[in-house]
Structures are given as structure tokens and as C-alpha cells.
Structure 1
Amino acid sequence: MLRSKTRWDWTEICSETWKELQKQLHISALTSKILQRRGYTSAGEAERFIHTDLSFMHDPFKLDGMTKAVERIKRAVENKEKILIFGDYDADGVSSTTIMIMLLKQLNADFGWYIPNRFTEGYGPNIPAFQTAKEEGASLVITVDTGIAAVTEIQAARDMGLDVIITDHHEPPPELPEAYCIINPKKPGCDYPFKELAGAGVALKVAHAVLGYFPEDMLDIFTIGTISDLVPLLDENRAMVKQGLKALASTQRPGLQALKQISGIDSDQIEEDHVGFSMGPRINAAGRMESADPAVHLLMSETIGEAKEWAAVIDALNKKRQQVVNEMTKEAVEEVESNYPPDENKVIVVGKEGWNPGVIGIAASRLAEKYYRPVIVLAIDKEKNEAKGSARSIEGFDMYKNLSKNRDLLPHFGGHPMAAGLTMKPDDMNELQRRLCEQAETEVDSDIFIPLTKIDVPVELHEVSISALEELRELAPFGVGNPKPVFMIRDTEIASSRKIGSDKNHLKLELTSEASTLDCIGFRLGHIYDNITEHAAAHVVGELSINEWNGFRKPQLFLKDMSVQHWQLFDKRKERQHLKEWLNQLPDEKTAVCIFQEETYKELEPSLSHKQVCSSFTPSHHTNDVPYVVLADMPVSLTDLQEQLSSFHCVERVYAFFKDRHELYFKPVPTREDFKWYYAFLRKRESFDVGKYGEELAKRKGWLTDSISFMTDVFFELDFVTMNNGVVTVNKSPEKKDLRESSHYQKHIEKSRTEQELLYSTYNDLKAGLTPYIHGADFKHDLKEKVGNGL
């Protein structure tokens, strides 16, 4: 048995529905199941989702405030007013800024752009920047990906005589700024049909409305911002990103060509992971480490030479960012382990002076992943008496909602249910943590703090094929709202397993079911190897892909989690010499050691530590619910073994060593004919000195000397002979008795049979023989409930 590490969240789907989709659309079972899981239950809905294109775009003028914004921008262009684009320093903000620059360049506007420095100015619009803009002659400010919470700053801009158009996508606070107009699909009263645009999406909508046509040439930039900002890739986001990935693949934009090259992307096909894990992080690195300006310069580069220079700058910043994040995460982990153990704190709030505020979000994400707790990481500035924080949450804990209840401690904050940014006083950190922990304790289900794996659908091994996986890619781009499908394969046999990698920290499995096989890779799951046995029936969960190597293509599964639903036999009979080493590895509190021979106990006693020991010659105080049972040596009989094993109630694993010092299996057991001949020999001789002549007799008959001793002991026990100093004398008139009346004979035969069944049987025969004695946890009975709620 192997328990999964996470809660498995899944529900069965209606087989009639997916089979009908499969039939009508001529698609694979994999694709039809995923479509149904994503809510597309009719052929028409499914067809539209698969073939989403730019015809799905919504009218930009449905965004409240758009008409007013377009009129003001056009008036500013006509009147040669100076316009300031005010952006944000993350990848979405950089992309939004770039889109607005491209728009205003196309309009031949008089404009400039500005992105605040994260370290000296902080997040969002600020009054000094507006004062500078006013002094330089600006009359109109357009914010992109920021501004929705800047009540004080926007009022100051108005007082200066600046008109401010806010374009943003973040959650609106209770009080909105009194800007010239606000374009935000989440704004109260806005009837725009799709609420999940990123900042780049809102900027693109403005460009569409101003130009009067959809600017497809901006989709490559839009795609970087949208994927990087982790907004749902549904509806028109899906349509635009799908087209934008194609645009990125064939882009002639020097900045993007240089960015792809330095990111190591030489594929003709750009996928969402290329953006999310390679291109986006490099754009983000500029604003995280210094200023976001180099990222904008890169995207706006007009020559490949200029672009390569800027690409080298942001790549160096990205490498520096990686180093800083690793160091900060290590320090944050030490802080958590020392002062905020996750078992006692359902929300983690940590901060330190000197931490880089540009990468605290990444550190927060790593801590949230490691501890599966909502996390806030803060960089403390003692001189300013200020702590800048980044929050990351887990499914079921709405970070924005919970922070909103603590506005008295948070002069500035904003974000989403899963992430937020905030500013506060360092002295209030402990109070914020206390309140959030109290909210987590009283207002949310405790189960949410158990790591969760969301499973889309169970599939059969035979349904996994190259053609099915190629077809599945039609459901891309994958991301928030349309995640990469996670599949569960039930009751598949582990045909083989091994550790791989230079540090042997990865796991490779071959799964089989009937005539189908599937390779399985578990990165950083090498530890599972010692907890599973080949031939075990397992449930596995992971993402399916196509592995291409050396010209061959085959399906594979990237393992996320797995479980084995029955007791497992770990056959260690060939490793009996390593028994002590294994005992030292097994956890004391989970392990009981069954010992049948006193010699074995004396030898193992130093290695038994605090493990429970079960034997007939030592006091046995073991509890009956220990999950791991070690069969250290050979029992005298199968009955002895049965009595020991049957005393345990919830056996998950049996480690069979069966160490023995007196093996009989390869020693022939004397037959009845052997006994008959030997007895006739003794009657004829009347007396025989076994000590002196036994070995010679054994050689003459082709027996072992032990056989002579054994038969002699049996005859003595049955009172057929007497013994004196090694001399055997036949009794003249013994009572007629059967050999089976000798306990010595019976024990010898039973030991031989026990050895044959336990020591020299095949793996399958041994497991079948032990199964009647095992009282395992009733995992099969409640499989549905266990898998659905975490094993």
C-alpha cells in the first residue's frame, strides 16, 4: 500500500455524454472526456471551443468608459497635446506599455512613457511622477495595468490639471479614483461580457477602439503579458493567445527574435510554456531587479543589433534574479521552520530587512508550494518604516477577501483571490499574521490545507496513443481556466521501476494493462521507488505528453502523484544479508519485526531501536495497527507465521527476509524407503556406533551425515532404539508406530515444507500464500471516498 501525498479532487463524468461527443466530432476518448469535464457537453459548444478564433472577439466599446476614452485620446492627438503612458513594472505592465506606445506611435501622437521604479517609488501611480509630467507639458495621462486603487494620486493629478484615463484589470477597491474615465472590465456597472482580460488585454481593447480595427500585429506582445499575468485563457483571451502564439512563432519583431534566441527557443512552434517559463520571466526580471525600462526598450527595438544588446541586459538580470531568489527562499524557509511551523500556523507571514522587494512574489510562491499554506513574504525597509509584501494563496483561501478584512493594517494593497501585493508597517506584521490565522481557523474548511491535486478524468491505458495526444493539443493554449489536463489511470500494473538522474532523485516506471504499456516519469519523486513493488496495481495521476527521442515518438505520463490500493509484499529474500540496514531505514513508529529464532533476536537487538518486536521468547507488547511488518527470519511452521501475521489489523507492507541458519531445502529429506533400509540395517547389526561409523555409512548410501542423525533421533523418539554415547542399540520388541507419530519427524517435514513455500517460492506464489493471513486496510471498499478526499 502507498498513500497519495495529496487530496485527489475528481468526479465521474457521464459516459453517454463523452461517447456521444466522440461519435459526433470523430475525436478520441481523451479529447471528448476533457471537453465534457470543461463543461462542453454539446457538439456545437465543443466545436466552438476547439476552433476558437478571432471572430469570438467582443466589441471594445462594451467596456464602460471606452467611448469617453477614445474621444479624449483622439482629441489629444489632434491638438498635439503631450500624453504620458504610465505603466507597471511586471511583464503584463511592460506589455501593456508597449502596446500603448505602438498605438500612439501609429497615431503620430506626442507622447512619452514612464514606469515607476519598484524600489524607489513602489507600485502604482505616484504624485512626484505626475508633477514631473505636468512640468514637462503633459495634459493627458493613460495608465496601463495600474491605477484602479490610486485614489489619492489621481485626485492630486486632477488638482494639477491632468486628465487621467485609467486602464486596469485588477479588483476595484470600495472607493474608485475620480479619473477622467476608468476602463476596467471588473469595474462595478461595467457590462463587458468577459471580465478576465489582463492589463495587456485592456490596452489592446483601447487600441482596437481608437484605430477602428483589430490590431493583429500587437497580438505577439499581448500574448506575453496575458500568459505571464496568469489570467484565465478562456473566451476572447483564448482566441487572442491562440493566434498570438502563432504570431510569436513567426514574428519579425527584432526584440522578440532576440528574446526567443536568448531564452533558448528555436522551435518553429511556440507554446504557452515557452512564454510562461522562459520569455515572461526574463521580461519580469528587469522590473524585479532594477528598472523595467530595458524590457520596454527590448520589445520596441528596431534593429536586431539593438535588440540583442537589450536581451543580454535582461538575461543577466534574470540570472541575478534566480540567485537572489534561491538565497531568499533558503532564508525564508529557515525563518518559517524556526518561528512559524506550518503545523501550528495556517497562514505564514515572514519578513526580513534586506530582502529584495522585486522577487518576494517568487519566494512567496515557493513557500506556498512547499508548505501548502497561504503565504505573505515582506521586504522590510527600516528607514522608511515600511514593509512591502507579496501574497500567494492556496485553493479555498481567498487572499484578497481575507486581506480586505484587515484594511486598517494595510495602507496599500490589491490583487486577486490567489495573489496580492501590499504595503504595511513592520510592527503590524505579527498582528496581521495572527488575524489571518484566526480567519483561516474559523472561516474556512480545514481540509483546504491538505495539498490538492485536481484531476480532470480517469482514462484507460489503451486510450493513450500518439494520435490522441496530438489531437489533445487542439484544446491548447493551456493555462488558468483551461489548465493542462491531469489524468488518472486506475489499477495499472507497475511492470518495472527504477531511479534515474545523476542524483537518482527521479523515478521511471513502466505501466502496463492488458496489452498496453506506458512510460512514466516522476521528477523529484525518486523516493517513491523504495515504497512500491513491481507488479503492484497502482493508481497514477499526471499529465500526458509525447516523448520524442532519437527519431522515436511514444506517449508518456509526467507523474504528479500515485497510490497503491492493496498491501504490498517487498521481497527481500535475496537481500537477507542487508536485513540490519533495512531495519535502520524503516520508521520505528510504523514498524513491527517478527522474529522466530532466538539467535536472530540476539543478532538484531542493537538494530531494533524502538521498533515493536513480535516473538515467542520475548514479551510482546505490539499494537495491532502497525502498518509495516518485517518477517526477519524463518518460522518453524506456517502456523507460527499465520499466528503472527493475523494479529495485525491494518497491514500495508510486508518485508519478507526469512533469514535462516539451518536451511533444509537443498538437503534431501530421507524417504520412507531410507528409514526402512536404515532400520533393517540396525536390526541386523543390533548395535551401531553412529559417532564412529555414521559418516562412512552415509557415504556408502549417498546420504548426508545429517540424514543418519535425523533418522536415528526419530527411531529414538519412537522407542525403536536406545542410545548410549553414540552407540545405537535396537530394542528387541518395539511397539509398532508410524513415523508421523514422531514430533521430531513432523517438525522436520514441516520445516522443509515451510522453507519450500516461503524461502524458495516465486514472488507471486509467496504473495498468494501470505494473502490469507493479511488483514490490510480496507482500501478497496472505500476507494471512491478515499481518492476523492485524499488518501
Structure 2
Amino acid sequence: MIESMKMWTINRPDEEIVQLFMKELSIPSIHAKILVSRGITDVEQAKSFLHMDTSSLHDPYLLYDMEKAVNRIMQAIDSNELITVYGDYDADGVTSVTVLTTALEQLGANVNFVIPNRFEHGYGPNVELFKTLNEAGTSLIITVDNGISGLEAADYAKSVGMDIIVTDHHEIGAELPNADAIIHPRHPSGNYPFGELAGVGVAFKLACALLGEIPDELYEIAAIGTVADLVPLQDENRFIVKEGIRRMRKSKRPVFQALSKVSGTEQSSLTEESLGFMIGPRLNAPGRLGSANPAVHLLKSDDPMEAMSIAEQLDALNKERQALVTNIANEAEQAMADMYGDMLPFVIVIAGVGWNPGVVGIVASRLTEKYYRPSIVLSIDLESGVAKGSGRSIAGFDLFKELSKNADLLPHFGGHEMAAGMSLSVEDVVKLRSRLNDQGKLQLTDEMLTPRLQIDVPLEIGEIDVDVLEGLELLRPFGMSFEKPVFLIENLSASSVRKIGAAKNHLKLDLSDGVNNLDVIGFGNGHIADEISPGVTLSITGDLQVNEWNGRKKPQMLLADLQSKERQLFDLRGIREPNRWMPAVPKKNNLFIAFQEQSVVHFSSMLKDVTVQKFGDVELSETDHVVILDMPVGTDQLKQLISQTNPKRIYAHFFVPESMYFEGMPSREDFGWYYSFLKKRGSFDLRNQIQELSKHRGWKIDIIYFMTKVFSELEFVKIENGLAFVMESAGKKNLSEAPSYQERELRIELEKKLVYASYMELKSWFDEVCKETVNREEQLWI
């Protein structure tokens, strides 16, 4: 068996609806399965989803306070008041600033922007920054992607005569800020049709209202922030991203050309993944390390040279951020090893002095992904005595709820079920660690601590071709609430299994369903090659892509996981040196078994760190892996071994010091000649004359001894003091009546079956044995 790395949950779409979609929408089966698996079950609903246009955008004036906000902003423009757009330091924040300032500039506004520094000001409206804005002459502040929780700063603004308009999308607290207008898609007094806009989506709606039309040139910017903020790609979010990417691919704006170049991405092939993994992180980088302003300057730049210069600066900052994350992650791993050893806690809480608080959330994500445990990573500031950090969670452990139980230790915390931020006294870190671990012990079961893989698009290879995969563009973008499909293909055999790459750390599979073939690449999964035995039936999951090489395109799967339910047989026969095959044998849950005492001695001397057990001397129990070192006396011993150990994998070595198979059984003519020879001689001195007879007849000495033993057991001869005497009174008997003859016959047959059979013949025999074992076990339960 090959166990999957994650626990698979397979959801199979309704085949009737799939067939209906294929017919009514003229789409391939893969497209239909994805739609159905995402909960789209009506043909008209599917048509609307596939063919979106500007009618997908709602009237911006449906947002509560939109008219009030537009009137106040227009008044400020007419009066040439200084308007400050107050943003946030992440990708959603900087794109929000860009969208709104661009719209205001088009209207002739006197506008600037301010983004708080993560380290100096923290998140959201900051009173000190508001004071600075007031002193600089700002009379109207418009927040973007923040502000809904900025009660104190809003009060300050009003107290000094500044007006404030809040545009935000974050969770609304029990009290709203004292603002002149609050534009929020989930405003408690509003009734907007779609509540899941990103911060930049709200800014985009305000820009639409101000301009009196949809600003086509801002779709691309809005798309970046929407993807980066991981909001659901439904409704107008979906259209904004789809339209934004379409325009971005052919845009002449310097920002997209520059970001594509520094990230090594083809602008004409940009996707939501490019935005999420290549462009978004570079826009996030400056705000994680210092001032986020350069990201806005890049997004607004019309100068190709300036844009490239800033893009290179952001790329360097992103590399710096990556190095920081790697260093902190390594230190966190070491801290985990020192603190927890081999025993993982239910909730990981790791703290380090001087860790950059701007990246600890990424480190927490890495720990959670690797260990599948809720993880909190804290940065300790010894001067202030404060630990600040971020946490990430897993399904079943509501991080915000569990942190709320420790509010006495956490003067500041916030977030949601899967992620949270917090600060606390350094002195309370140990208490928080202990409490959360106890809470995790009560909440988390072994099943909940097993990572899961949701599979929703089962396929057959015959459904896959290049045109179909390229046609998936119709369904993009994939993201939150319309997740990228995880494909499953079952019951495949591998015609080729290889390790590839300079370090042989990648896996290359050529798989077949008996008719069609598919190439599979598993990056970083080279070790799996040692786990796949010939002929085993595999099920695989992953992402389908088009691989182009030398102008030729073909489908290819990028492996996410694989498994096999079959018991596997690994052929170690003929590899005499154990050091050549030992690396392929798993280190845990294994049994090394020998049937002969001399084999126990032989292998114990060669396998220094392994305990070799002798069959019959050890009580057999279930284990994952059994290594059969030598030949059994008979197949019943093997059947008993397999039945009682019930292994997932069998490693067959079947070492034979001297083979009887190739020597064979002496012919009846050989026995006849030898018996006549003994009768003529009357007696034969085995000790002194056997060498001469061996040369004369060309028989091996072992064969002469064997035939003599057979005659002795049949009482044809008697052996005394090394002399063989013919028994005159011997009656007629069949050679096969002799135990030695039977034993040799059995041994030759056993060697033929176990040692010299082809792999597939041996596997077939083991499969039958395993089937008999299962059948016997089932009968016991009937």
C-alpha cells in the first residue's frame, strides 16, 4: 500500500447534471464537472456564470451613505480642499489608495495619500497621523481598506474640524466610528446585494459613483487587490478580476510590464495565480519591511523607466522579505525542536527576540502547513516587554474564539476563525502557550489533526486533451469560493517510474489506464519512486497543465498526492549486498524475518542496526513492512507469515546460499547407474573415493551424497563409518518415497516459484496468497 499524504475527501458531481451541462452549454465534461462540483446546478445559472459582463456590477449608489459621501467629496473638490486618502500597507490597501486617488485626480481634486507604517503606527486610523494631517491642512480624510474600527481617531478628526469618510470591508464592531459617511458592503443599515467586496472593491465602487461611469482603466488595479485579499471570487468580485486580468494581459501601462519582467511572468499569460503569487507579494513587500508608499508610486507611474526602477526596488524588498521569512522559519523550527522535541503540541506557540513582526504571519502559515497544527509566531521586543504576532489555524479550531478565552492575557487581539493578530506582555507568553495547548487538547482529535484534501473533480484520462485544458480559461478566475479544482484519476498503472533532477528529488511517472497515457510530475517527491512497486494500481490527484516542449504540447499533471490500496511486493532477489537495497526499506514498523538459523547469523552480521527474527522463534503480529530474507521450508510458512503480520508492503529477498534449482534432480538413469555401480562394488568409501567418482561421472559431490542418502532412506544401502554397503534384502521402492527426495523436489519447486519466477509471476502468487488471507479473515467475521 501507498498511503496518501493527506486524508482524501472525494465529492463526485451529479452525473446527470454533468451530462445536461455538456449538452446545453456545449462544454467538455471537465468544465461541466467543475461547475457542478462548485454548486452550480442550473443551466441558466451556469450561463450567467460563464458569460459575465458589466451588468454583473451593482449600482454603486446601493451602498449605504454613497450619495452622502459623493456630495461631500464633490464639495471638497469644488472648494479645492485638501483631501487625504488614508490607506493600509498591504496589497489591498495600496491598490485601494491607487484606485481612489486616480479617480479624484481625474476630477481635479487637491488630493494626497498617507499610509501608516506597520511598525510606527500599526494598523488602521492613527491619532498621531491624523494630527499631522490636520497640521498639514487636510480637511477631508477618506479611509480605504480600513477605518471601521478607528473610533478614537474618527473622534479626534471631528474634534479638530476635519471631516472623515470611511470606506472599508472588514468586520464591523458593536460601535460605528463617528464619520460623515461610512461606505461598507455589510453596513448594518444598508442593503447592498453583495457583501464580500475587497477594500479595493469598495474604493472602485466609490470611484464609479464619483466619475459617473465605470473607470475601465482601474479594473486591473482593482483585480490585483481583490485577488491578494483572498475575498470570495463571486458576483462582482469575479467580474472585476476576470475583466482586470483580460485587460492587464495586453495593457501598455508601465507597471504591468515592469512587474511582469521582474517576476519572470509573461504579461500575455497573466492569471489570478500570477497576481496572487508573483505580483501581490511584491506589492506587499515594502509595507512588511517599512513604508508602503513605493507600491502606490509604482501603480500610478506612467514612466517606463521610473516603473522599472521601482519594480526592481520592490523585487529586492521581496527577496529581502523571503530571506527574513526563511531565517525566522529556521529559527522557529529550531525553537520547536528545543521546546517540544519529537512530541508536537496541539497548538504551536513560538516566540523569538527581534523577529520582524511584519513577516511572522507568513512563518505561522508555514508552520501550520507543515505540521497541520494551529500556530502562533510572536516577535519579542525586549525594550518594551511586548510580544506581537500572528496566528494561523486549521479546521475545527476557531482561533479568534480560543484567543478570546485568554482575553486577560491579550490587551490587543483580533481576527477570525482561521487567522488572528495579537500582542501581549512577554511575561505572559508561557501562560498563553500552556493555556492554548490545553484548549487544543480538548478541541482537537487525531482525525482533526490529519490534513485533508478535498477532491471534487474525478476524471478519466480520456477526458483530458490540450484543447480542453486551454479551454479552462472560460472558468477562470479560480480562488476563494470558486477554488481551483483538484483532479482525481483512479486505477492507473505505471509504465515508467523515475527520479529526475540533478539531485534526483523529483518524480516522473508515465501512467496508463490501459488505453490512454498521462505524464505526471511530482516536484520534491522523488522519494515516492522507492514506494511504487511494478504493476501496482495507483490513484493520483493534482493540477492539470499543458506542457510545451520543442513546439509540441501535451497534457501533464502536477502531482499533489497519490495512493494505492494494494499490498505491494518489492523485488530484492539477486541483490546480494543488503547495503544496496536497505535504503529503500522504511525505517519504522518493519520486520526482518529469516527461516533458517544460518540466515539469521548471516544477516545479523551484515545488518548492524537491524534485529533479524527467526520464523517460529518470534510471536508474529501486524506490522507495515515485512522483509523476507531467505527461503521458507514450504509455502505454508509464507502464508502464515503474511496472514499474521498483514503487511502493507512485502520486500522479498529470498537469499539462497546454494541453489538446487539449477542443479536439478538427478535423473532416474543417474540413480540407476549409481545403484548398479554400488552393487558391483559391494561397498563404496565415500570419504576417500567420492572425488574420483565425481570426476569420472561429472557429478557434483553434493549430488553423490544426496543420491546416497536417498538410497539409505529407502534401505537400498547402509552407511557405516563413511562406507556405503548395498543391502541385499532391499525390496522395490519408488525414489519419491525417500524424505530427502521429497524435500529436494519441494525445494526445487519452491525456488522455481519464489526465486526464479518473473516478478509478475511472483506478484500473482503473492496476490493469491493475500486474497486467501483476506477471505479467511472475512469468513471468521461471518
Which range, TM-score by smaller chain?
Answer: over 0.9
1:387-398 mapped onto 2 (5 Å cutoff): 387-398=387-398
Residue of structure 1 aligned with 2:749, choices 736, 739, 753: 753
State whether structure 2 residue 42 is matched by structure 1 residue 32.
no
1:317-466 mapped onto 2 (5 Å cutoff): 317-340=317-340, 343=343, 345-442=345-442, 447-466=447-466
Match of 2:480 in 1: 480
Supply the AA of the counterpart residue of 2:732: K
**Aligned CA distance change for structure 1 residues 610 and 744 (closer, same or farther; 3 Å):** same
CA distance in 1, matches of 2:586, 2:502: 25
CA distance in 2, matches of 1:340, 1:660: 47
1:22-101 mapped onto 2 (5 Å cutoff): 22-101=22-101
SS of the aligned residue for 1:193 comes to coil
Residue of structure 1 aligned with 2:632, choices 626, 631, 635: 635
Supply the AA of the counterpart residue of 1:734: A
Quick check: 336-345 or 240-249, which moved more? Answer: 336-345
Supply the AA of the counterpart residue of 1:593: F
Match of 1:786 in 2: none
**Aligned CA distance change for structure 1 residues 774 and 580 (closer, same or farther; 3 Å):** farther
Match of 2:717 in 1: 721
Give the deviation of 1:608 after TM superposition.
Answer: 6.7
Judge conservation of contact 1:579–1:632 (CA < 8 Å) in 2: no
Supply the AA of the counterpart residue of 1:638: T
CA distance in 2, matches of 1:165, 1:409: 34
CA distance in 2, matches of 1:561, 1:106: 51
Match of 1:302 in 2: 302
Judge conservation of contact 2:185–2:197 (CA < 8 Å) in 1: yes
Give the deviation of 1:277 after TM superposition.
Answer: 1.4
Match of 1:578 in 2: 578
**Aligned CA distance change for structure 1 residues 369 and 777 (closer, same or farther; 3 Å):** farther
Match of 2:567 in 1: 567
Match of 1:785 in 2: none
SS of the aligned residue for 1:561 comes to strand
Q: Percent identity?
A: 44
Judge conservation of contact 1:89–1:288 (CA < 8 Å) in 2: yes
**Cα deviation code 1:403-424 (max 9, x no counterpart):** 4454454444443433233333
Give the deviation of 1:206 after TM superposition.
Answer: 0.7
State whether structure 2 residue 135 is matched by structure 1 residue 139.
no
Supply the AA of the counterpart residue of 1:604: F
SS of the aligned residue for 2:132 comes to helix
CA distance in 1, matches of 2:701, 2:583: 37
Give the deviation of 1:10 after TM superposition.
Answer: 2.4
Residue of structure 1 aligned with 2:760, choices 758, 764, 781: 764
Match of 2:671 in 1: 675
Match of 1:547 in 2: 547
CA distance in 2, matches of 1:340, 1:75: 61
SS of the aligned residue for 2:574 comes to helix
**Aligned CA distance change for structure 1 residues 445 and 772 (closer, same or farther; 3 Å):** same
TM-score in terms of structure 1 length: 0.93
**Aligned CA distance change for structure 1 residues 456 and 674 (closer, same or farther; 3 Å):** same
CA distance in 2, matches of 1:443, 1:654: 38
Judge conservation of contact 1:4–1:562 (CA < 8 Å) in 2: yes
1:198-237 mapped onto 2 (5 Å cutoff): 198-237=198-237
Supply the AA of the counterpart residue of 1:605: S
CA distance in 1, matches of 2:445, 2:24: 42
1:765-784 mapped onto 2 (5 Å cutoff): 765-774=761-770
**Aligned CA distance change for structure 1 residues 175 and 750 (closer, same or farther; 3 Å):** same
CA distance in 2, matches of 1:719, 1:42: 89
Match of 1:600 in 2: 599
Match of 2:623 in 1: 626
Match of 1:270 in 2: 270
CA distance in 1, matches of 2:614, 2:163: 83
Match of 1:789 in 2: none
CA distance in 1, matches of 2:216, 2:611: 69
SS of the aligned residue for 2:724 comes to strand
SS of the aligned residue for 1:83 comes to strand
CA distance in 2, matches of 1:499, 1:669: 44
State whether structure 2 residue 642 is matched by structure 1 residue 645.
yes
CA distance in 1, matches of 2:435, 2:209: 45
**Aligned CA distance change for structure 1 residues 21 and 514 (closer, same or farther; 3 Å):** same
CA distance in 2, matches of 1:212, 1:577: 81
Quick check: 79-88 or 179-188, which moved more? Answer: 179-188
Give the deviation of 1:631 after TM superposition.
Answer: 0.6
Judge conservation of contact 1:651–1:777 (CA < 8 Å) in 2: no
**Aligned CA distance change for structure 1 residues 494 and 214 (closer, same or farther; 3 Å):** same
**Aligned CA distance change for structure 1 residues 666 and 778 (closer, same or farther; 3 Å):** closer
SS of the aligned residue for 1:719 comes to coil
**Aligned CA distance change for structure 1 residues 586 and 405 (closer, same or farther; 3 Å):** closer
Asked which structure has the greater RCO (Cα within 8 Å, sep 6+), the reply is: 1
**Cα deviation code 1:188-241 (max 9, x no counterpart):** 333222222111111101101111111111011111111111112121111111
Supply the AA of the counterpart residue of 1:677: W
Supply the AA of the counterpart residue of 1:621: E
Aligned residue pairs, count: 776
Judge conservation of contact 2:603–2:612 (CA < 8 Å) in 1: no
CA distance in 2, matches of 1:445, 1:105: 56
Judge conservation of contact 1:652–1:776 (CA < 8 Å) in 2: no
1:694-733 mapped onto 2 (5 Å cutoff): 694-695=690-691, 697-698=693-694, 701=697, 703-724=699-720, 726-733=722-729
Give the deviation of 1:459 after TM superposition.
Answer: 1.6
Judge conservation of contact 2:711–2:717 (CA < 8 Å) in 1: yes
Judge conservation of contact 1:566–1:776 (CA < 8 Å) in 2: no
Match of 1:655 in 2: 651
CA distance in 1, matches of 2:54, 2:480: 20
Judge conservation of contact 1:714–1:742 (CA < 8 Å) in 2: yes
**Cα deviation code 1:530-587 (max 9, x no counterpart):** 2221211122221111111222222121111221102110111132322686289543
CA distance in 2, matches of 1:450, 1:178: 46
**Aligned CA distance change for structure 1 residues 161 and 429 (closer, same or farther; 3 Å):** farther
Instruction: Give the unaligned 5+ runs of structure 1.
Output: 783-791
Supply the AA of the counterpart residue of 1:545: Q
Judge conservation of contact 2:397–2:443 (CA < 8 Å) in 1: no
Match of 1:787 in 2: none
Judge conservation of contact 2:12–2:37 (CA < 8 Å) in 1: no
SS of the aligned residue for 1:424 comes to strand
1:135-284 mapped onto 2 (5 Å cutoff): 135-284=135-284
**Aligned CA distance change for structure 1 residues 212 and 341 (closer, same or farther; 3 Å):** farther
**Cα deviation code 1:87-133 (max 9, x no counterpart):** 11111111111111101110110111101111222111111111111
RMSD: 2.5
CA distance in 2, matches of 1:736, 1:342: 71
**Aligned CA distance change for structure 1 residues 615 and 720 (closer, same or farther; 3 Å):** same
Give the deviation of 1:615 after TM superposition.
Answer: 2.0
Quick check: 366-375 or 668-677, which moved more? Answer: 668-677
Quick check: 182-191 or 603-612, which moved more? Answer: 603-612
SS of the aligned residue for 2:448 comes to helix
SS of the aligned residue for 2:351 comes to strand
SS of the aligned residue for 1:268 comes to helix
Judge conservation of contact 2:12–2:456 (CA < 8 Å) in 1: no
**Aligned CA distance change for structure 1 residues 774 and 30 (closer, same or farther; 3 Å):** same
TM-score in terms of structure 2 length: 0.94
SS of the aligned residue for 2:719 comes to strand
Judge conservation of contact 1:592–1:628 (CA < 8 Å) in 2: yes
**Cα deviation code 1:709-762 (max 9, x no counterpart):** 321221122111223455433222202211111111111111111100000011
